[in-house]
Structure 1
């Protein structure tokens, strides 16, 4: 009898999105009979340990990505942090080399971790950013990212190939020789029949200090909201904590099951315009309002695109006030992509001898 193969699933620790969208991939691997080893760091690692207490984990080197306090300094901060990122990538390669040499892994699925690959085992890269937006240097950041993608056997884009799609120019190239597979939007959540319990759900995520800056602003704003509010802070801590003030119930975090119910019980959602959040909202067919992370070109692009299409309104962080939520009713909200994806069909790469 052949030994079960172990696949390393390694999401980048940048907010929670990369980790949460790997949840359906991990479940599909388990369903197909693979062993799974998860590698990440920080809150991404903590979140997946809470979701999958039964599987093995390793801590990978941290990219230590932190946002600038002011949006206009975003690119400058990224350039300043790039030596740290390059060092982490080099260290990732060392960890992977050791795992392969010891025979501990027989395949790799890397979600945006650039050093998590090895020429001796089949390697997949997950990204929705075939184009990486960075303002006037977008052509360069996109070219560099595409060069990294070329080093993997397959690149899985969590979107649909044609139109309408969710990622727009981020996940679609006019011409390419990259080994791209469109795998459909990835979400750990499902639409449920549920009675509306909250008028507004606020969910915050993303790297510091921007997570805290938005939290402080919204704690003040929701006091003026006329209705019942659920506020999820996106802080992954040892245990779940809850407190109430005025019209608002506050949780530090929720696991997938609780979060799924909370989304389904909420009339509308106030959140960042991160791509993973957008995939969740599309699956759940929700109405929302977006506040993109200041200076984060990708979130700003997605928010503008969806606003222009009449799906979700947005405004900049410094301009937000609770009265802006009145605009939500003028927009159509998300509708689901009714094309179910069989993730278990993706693993042919790992199934050969």
Structure 2
């Protein structure tokens, strides 16, 4: 691939909220390398750990944690986040100061921020990535959306990983009827490639998202799977130093998998049980898989996406506390995620750094 880049350095900064923001940055990082740019990765927590495993040879930097915490009771989530907002604001302020220093220290020529609110600069081209032009928070959606849109305006461009026209993936999340924002719809972002492989697993479970809800769902599914007779692959979504594998009867457990392994087992699995996170949906669209969704309790975005896909006849879903393994029979009534084969023009996108 030909590029005008003179080995310019691009800082890429995904939000550490679950693993979705980090994983959807993987194809961007690879595209930067293919176009002769030098990526530097900056994040915190599990997101940074995951990207260090994917790109052990790249320079990584640590940003302050937003200290996003979930509650066991989903109805308390909004209030808990409001209570923690001073810590988040302090982290955003600190990361903004760090970015200012790093630009000179590491000779950074551009920034790509996936939902990190303080990672931008007026000195160099700063790009924002989000599928949430509107941030759904129930009755406070109007104010959270306005705040987020104000952040988007501080950037040179906003890359939206969705299709601009209908049918699209995120609907009102990623689209505005009238907008003066500099939005560029780049199509779904996924690290996956569809392959025609023999089916090895009747069911693949892949967990993600913040604690304690990840553990609560793991415990719930382990209990329900006692009544499932098929071959199961269960990926816990716990990023640890070493990969661990355990086989108990018909279920094979992994703590985590890297992108290459995930691509393999996704293609080898008949149906998927997972959260209705947007990054996961983009992966499933790339693979054209049948999926059953269990939205994270209290996360309006995931509930909205699950309801949208059910209404369109593509995939069923269940509330976490009400899920039963017998719900999987509902999949016979749904078409499954339809493949969107979009080719991203990376050379054109990256020309903003020239």
2:111 corresponds in structure 1 to 108
1:63 corresponds in structure 2 to 66
Pairs within 5 Å for 1:302-341: 302-341=305-344
Q: SS of the counterpart of 1:348?
A: helix
1:224 corresponds in structure 2 to 227
Q: Superposition RMSD on alpha carbons, in Å?
A: 1.1
1:159 corresponds in structure 2 to 162
Distance 2:5 2:256 in 1: 40
Distance 1:103 1:329 in 2: 53
Correspondence 1:119 to 2:122: yes
Deviations 1:273-324, CA, capped at 9 Å, x for gaps: 0000000000000000000000100000000000000000001001001000
In structure 2, the gaps of 5 or more residues are: none
Distance 1:243 1:3 in 2: 47
1:262 corresponds in structure 2 to 265
Correspondence 1:237 to 2:223: no
1:103, distance to aligned residue in structure 2 (A): 4.9
Distance 2:220 2:327 in 1: 14
The question of whether the paired residues in 1 share the 8 Å contact of 2:6 and 2:37 is answered with no
| 75-84 or 166-175, which deviates more | 75-84
Q: SS of the counterpart of 1:253?
A: coil
Distance 2:350 2:6 in 1: 17
Correspondence 1:52 to 2:55: yes
The question of whether the paired residues in 2 share the 8 Å contact of 1:40 and 1:60 is answered with yes
TM-score of the superposition, structure 2-length normalised?
0.98
2:284 to 271, 278, 281: 281
Alpha-carbon spacing, 1:30–1:327, altered in 2? closer, same or farther (3 Å):
same
TM-score of the superposition, structure 1-length normalised?
0.98
1:34 to 37, 55, 70: 37
2:134 corresponds in structure 1 to 131
The question of whether the paired residues in 1 share the 8 Å contact of 2:5 and 2:35 is answered with no
Correspondence 1:187 to 2:199: no
Q: SS of the counterpart of 1:243?
A: strand
Distance 2:229 2:65 in 1: 42
Distance 1:340 1:223 in 2: 42
1:3, distance to aligned residue in structure 2 (A): 5.3
Q: SS of the counterpart of 1:25?
A: helix
1:64, distance to aligned residue in structure 2 (A): 1.2
Q: SS of the counterpart of 2:252?
A: strand
Distance 1:336 1:201 in 2: 19
Correspondence 1:16 to 2:11: no
The question of whether the paired residues in 1 share the 8 Å contact of 2:5 and 2:37 is answered with no
Q: SS of the counterpart of 1:132?
A: coil
Distance 2:150 2:352 in 1: 21
1:54, distance to aligned residue in structure 2 (A): 1.2
Deviations 1:157-209, CA, capped at 9 Å, x for gaps: 00000011111100000000000000000000110110000000000000001
Any runs of at least 4 consecutive aligned residues in structure 1 with deviations exceeding 6 A, and if so which?
A: none
Q: SS of the counterpart of 1:83?
A: helix
Distance 2:40 2:226 in 1: 44
The number of equivalent residue pairs is 351
1:102, distance to aligned residue in structure 2 (A): 2.5
Distance 2:24 2:65 in 1: 19
Q: SS of the counterpart of 2:60?
A: strand
Deviations 1:223-281, CA, capped at 9 Å, x for gaps: 11120000000000001001011210000000000000100000000000000000000
1:34, distance to aligned residue in structure 2 (A): 0.5
The question of whether the paired residues in 2 share the 8 Å contact of 1:223 and 1:246 is answered with no
